[in-house]
Amino acid sequence: MSGPGEGREPLIARDATYHRAPDALRARVRASLAEATRAERRPAAWRIFGTALACAAVAAITWTVAITTLAYERDILTFIRHISLRNALHRLVRLVQQQKKGADPIVRQKLAALWIGEQALQLNGYRSLTNILRGGAPGPEGSTSKLFWSQIDQELAHVATEVIGPYAQIAHGSSWAPDGGQWEFYELLARASGIRAGTSEILRNILAERVLGLPKD
Residues classed as catalytic:
73
| Residues 116, 148 contacting (CB under 8 angstroms) | no
Q: Report how far apart, in Å, the C-alpha atoms of 96 and of each of 85, 116, 120, 147, 202 are.
A: 17, 17, 22, 27, 35
Q: What is the DSSP string of 47-81?
A: HHHHHHHHHHHHHHHHHHHHHHHHHHHHHHHHHHH
